[in-house]
Amino acid sequence: MNRRDFLQQMGGAAALLGASAEAQSPAKKSTHAVAAPRPANADGRPNILMIMADQLRVDCVGAYGNKRIHTPHLDRIAREGLRFENAYTSVPSCTPARSALLTGLSPWKHGMLGMTKMATKPYPVEKAHALAQAGYYTTVVGKNHYYPITNPHGYHHMITDEHCSYAFHKRDNKPKMPQSEEIRCDYESWFWSEMPDKDPHATGLGWNDHGARPWVHPEETHPTHWTGSTAVKFIEQYEREQPFFLKVSFIRPHSPYDPPKRLYDFYDKQGVPEAKAGAWAKKYEPRSWEGDDIWHGKLPPDQMRNARVGYYGSVTHVDEQIGRILVALEERKMLDNTLILFFSDHGDMLGDQNMWRKTYAYEQSAHIPMLMRPAASMQLSAKGAAVRGMVEIRDVVPTLLDVAGAPIPESIEGKSLLQLVKSKGEGWREWIDLEHNICYDETNHWNALTDGEWKYIFHAFDGHEQLFNLQNDPDELNDLGADAARNAELERWRGRMVAHLSERGEHWVKDGKLQVRKKGTMLGPNFPGYLEPEMVLKSLG
């Protein structure tokens, strides 16, 4: 497929959505030379392309059954590869999820049980470093959420979008002191080189606001477009001898919900699904805080709809950039020699269960999309297959090492997705663990387990238990925790949770019983810790 075929494939959809920025300005092409088609790597190993979206919930990808969302390129990856039906993120917020991605470890083993700064002291095994040792050239474009943002964790090259200037941005335009020394990332430097007198946050939306407005600048200056363009340039220009590992990490659809106007208008006209809430979630109807940054509250219908219009537009914008990346791979004859793995770090409640943002055990927060398109040389002939095994972000590191033909250290707790596919699930884990330390409010503090059919949640603040049958009730509208007819099921899952948490000590389990924990535990004993800032800089050379 070439660029012309790509645009033709968009066909009627382009007419509805409005021509993309590239189609609107076909003469505005990159001025750099595109390298010649690249033959297979000399050592026979595939390139690895890992694509992430931030805060993308599983039901907002068309391949998972949503007929209202427009994601043709993600759907293509699923159609030509594998769709993991039961992919979860064990600690559903940004930094702990990315610690699992960095290490291949469970929350207790990497030590981040809630949302705080990632470690600056290194772990024994880290993803990019291990792949570099295996002979891959490692590059990241977009968001890492590392601390500091220049901490490479093994990457040869980093081109970042972290929205650092939000630390001192304020709607009233009055300056305030930055919260850290990291006041600019590569995207923002690029933005100001293009538009020196403009504000990349000119929509006025905050980093966790529920409001939505169209992007106010030219579309090609949007961070989503910049991330896609930078990844395309990497692929077009790559000429090194060794295979590459390229991480492309979009900072959207995480709020602010600010897609290009054409995408906002498309979903505003088409309409979006309404939020759902079970009777058990009525207690979350009152608004948690003043302002636009809230964690629960049943908002007026027009505000709920506006948030979802902006979010859906942001998802499609990410998908469009993924389409551009696929075209770049095809034009260099690299697509079939590249393993593509796509997933998100966590989801977004979007008003479901009267909740907003993430950090919850519920499906819209903890259940993530995960798609894999194998390279031809891997000979995984299962196009369009749905894989039912329970998988988690900790499985990414061993999967990538497996693809690279590198040994998987015994210390890694995750498992290779290739082995799951080849074994057809034999010997795979039966369930996955979920948790989050106190966030937003002392009552939001829990542990959970799920096998894709049932989900058990233990609320640590008061010991309240919830039980959902996901097979019959995928939206978790009916809490069976107090249903006497489900006591045996509840006890079975409670027993599993006791066994799972027992290694953590009496603060968690005492005399065979789960303990109420009024105080949280943000960092476990396996967290490696932080270096002093000057030591971090010294370690970076």
- Residues catalogued as catalytic: 94, 145
DSSP letters spanning 390-448: EEEGGGHHHHHHHHHT----TT-----HHHHHHHTTTT--S-EEEEE--BSBTT--EEE
Task: Give the Cα separation of 153 and 128 in Å (integer).
Answer: 7
Instruction: Write a three-state SS string for 73-89.
Output: HHHHHHHHCEEEEEEEC
Q: Which of 518, 512, 471 is nearest to 491 (CA)?
A: 512
For residue 160, the Cα-to-chain-centroid distance in whole angstroms is: 16
Task: Give the Cα separation of 95 and 133 in Å (integer).
Answer: 25
Which is it for strands 47-54 and 244-253: parallel, antiparallel or unpaired? parallel
Q: Which of 345, 278, 362, 268 is nearest to 307 (CA)?
A: 268
531-to-242, 395, 538 alpha-carbon distances in Å: 33, 27, 10
396-to-74, 105, 156, 162, 412 alpha-carbon distances in Å: 18, 10, 19, 22, 11
Task: Give the Cα separation of 403 and 243 in Å (integer).
Answer: 11
Q: Which of 190, 138, 146, 188 is nearest to 168 (CA)?
A: 188
